[in-house]
Amino acid sequence: MEKTLHWIDFTIVIISVALAIGVGLYFSRRQRNTENYFAGSGKIPAWAIGISIFATLISSVTFLAYPGAAYAGNWILLVQGLMVPVVLVGLIRIIVPLFRRVIRLSTYEYFERRFGLFARIYSSIAFILTHFSKMGTVFFLVALAVSPFLGIDIRTIVILLGIAIILLTLLGGMEGVIWMDVIQGFLLIGGGIICAGLLLFKPEGGPASVIDTAIKSNKIGFGPYDWDLTQLTFIVMVFNGIFYAIQKYGTDQTIVQRYMAAKNDAAAKKAAYIGVFMSVPVWALFMFIGTGLFAYYQITGSPLPEGIKADAVFPHFMMTELPVGVLGLILAALIAAAISSLDSDMNCLAAIGVEDYYVRFRPESTDRQRLRLARALVILSGVAAVGVALVYVHWGGEGVLGVVFELYAIFSAGIVGLFLLGLLSRRANKQGLYVGIAAAVLFTAYAMLTSTGFDFGDGRGSRVLLDLGDWNFKHHKYMLGVYSHIVLFTVGYFASFFFKTPLADKDLTIYGFLEKRKQEKLNND
């Protein structure tokens, strides 16, 4: 990929980043209170919120990882995305009005109302740790991907991109974030369509030849279909996708906060559906790009660098095959994918800091004090994420930092189980929940420490932290999250029977929704 980026492409990339800062400046004059800063005062249309949900779900990791996975194998990773609409078509009708009725802004206020303060702290910390580590990863991966194109050091790209995203989020609030996501969402879709079109029509024989090559090479499929939980199989991705869907739409602040930005329940549900049904085709589009890359190099015989990894094939194609102007648009789309994910994380982390901690423990604080803290937290989270990315650069993305983030996962285990326990059972109580959390943490610690390999850079290669031989956790790593949720739910439910407490308020569970719907039917009859 020894090719200098044309000044036209470079200009397109610079303009796209400058646009993000400009959007932040444009909306900055409206950010006078926390309601505007975190929820846009409920004035943002549903279609824009829906596109923002979609853009938040499609990060630069998707932009790079999906084509690499499809190039090396098939479309099995898409099964996770396909499960999202299957699970959420009915669930959105319940969780959207529930959250809009019982919380002010933070998702984790629901957990406090259902199970007490500890549940709120546990679930909010889980979000903070998960998204904080994800932000550093996104910064690192997008800088790693675009550095060869721009000819700029990875550290410099991380810092400059961090400054741009911090300014957008700091100045524009949630309103600026959502409208920038709309722009970036269309840019992302356009970039993907252009790449897919080139891969379809550029090889000799056109689309028919590309599809035929992909089918003969078994590149379009979702197998293996064995009932095997130790390998990456269709059934493993089905289970993973079910819990992924519930976690993102039922417990993730970046999504729930957008429900609160809508004008009413109907608009919030519409936005959620738009986000769901836009995401799946785009996930499929980037899977197809990976398949198209495989067919392209098979048909054309164009050489690839010796030893190139699957994840690097798409960037190689971009640098060597895309014409001037198009390359700039694709790079802008890649950066846009990072921005649309990171700006949401920064705003939502600030919202949690204010709502779950500052307001909770200083209820007498003024809105002006809360807004000032929110902006400080945006800066802090952005700088910290940039710092994590720079550590990744220093260590090459390996080593101690990976261990730290895996340990974070241990102490945030079972969040979906916690959510379902509160939603589906009035009998479940906080004492039973505590037992369930302890069981989920212990199980997750056992599974991760006996199955996940780490390279400590001492020349001994990758190894598990705790080797128990035949007692090691042997199922696929994607099943770990599934099991932790099930453990928390099951143990928490049955443990609750050992503690005599009143039944939970039905309005905090699915039963309040069902009773309300039944009453509406009776009134209509």
Residues 6+ apart with CB under 8 A from 311: 64, 65, 68
**Residues 59-77, mean pLDDT to the nearest whole number:** 87
Residue 88 has pLDDT above 50, yes or no: yes
**Residues 306-316, mean pLDDT to the nearest whole number:** 90
Provide the pLDDT for residue 494: 98
pLDDT in tens, 122-142: 999 988 888 887 888 888 888
pLDDT in tens, 334-347: 898 889 889 999 99
d(CA 464, CA 406): 12
**Residues 360-371, mean pLDDT to the nearest whole number:** 93
**Residues 90-107, mean pLDDT to the nearest whole number:** 91
* Tally of CA atoms within 13 A in the half-sphere of 346 that contains its CB: 38
**Residues 16-22, mean pLDDT to the nearest whole number:** 91
Provide the pLDDT for residue 397: 52
Please report the sign of the dihedral spanned by the C-alpha atoms of residue 432, residue 437, residue 442, residue 447: positive
Which contiguous run of DSSP H or E holds residue 460? Answer: none
Provide the pLDDT for residue 523: 79
**Residues 139-150, mean pLDDT to the nearest whole number:** 88
DSSP 113: H
pLDDT in tens, 210-232: 999 999 999 999 999 999 999 99
H-type alpha helices, 252-303:
253-261, 265-300
d(CA 272, CA 451): 36
d(CA 112, CA 85): 28
DSSP string, 20-39: HHHHHHHHHTT--SHHHHHH
Position 270, amino acid: K
Counted residue by residue, the chain has a size of 525
Residue 59 has pLDDT above 90, yes or no: no
Question: What percentage of the chain exceeds 90 in pLDDT?
Answer: 65
Provide the pLDDT for residue 405: 46
pLDDT bracket for residue 406 (50, 70, 90): low
pLDDT bracket for residue 399 (50, 70, 90): very low
pLDDT bracket for residue 173 (50, 70, 90): very high
**Residues 27-41, mean pLDDT to the nearest whole number:** 88
**Residues 467-478, mean pLDDT to the nearest whole number:** 88
d(CA 394, CA 158): 12
**Residues 451-479, mean pLDDT to the nearest whole number:** 74
Provide the pLDDT for residue 411: 54
d(CA 342, CA 392): 17
d(CA 348, CA 106): 9
Query: Buried b vs exposed e over 272-308: b needs ≥16 C-beta within 10 Å?
Result: bbbbbebbbebbbbbbbbbbbbbbbbbbeeeeeeeee
Range of lowest pLDDT (25-29, 213-217, 369-373, 433-437)? 25-29
Provide the pLDDT for residue 204: 93
pLDDT in tens, 254-303: 999 999 999 999 999 999 999 999 999 999 999 999 999 999 999 999 99
Residue 160 has pLDDT above 90, yes or no: yes
Q: Mean of the per-residue pLDDT values for the chain? A: 89
> Could you tell me if 389 and 155 are in contact, meaning their C-beta atoms sit under 8 angstroms apart?
no
User: Comparing 207 with 408, which gets the higher pLDDT?
Assistant: 207
pLDDT bracket for residue 452 (50, 70, 90): low
pTM for the model: 0.90
- Which token pair is 106? 């933070």
**Residues 165-190, mean pLDDT to the nearest whole number:** 92
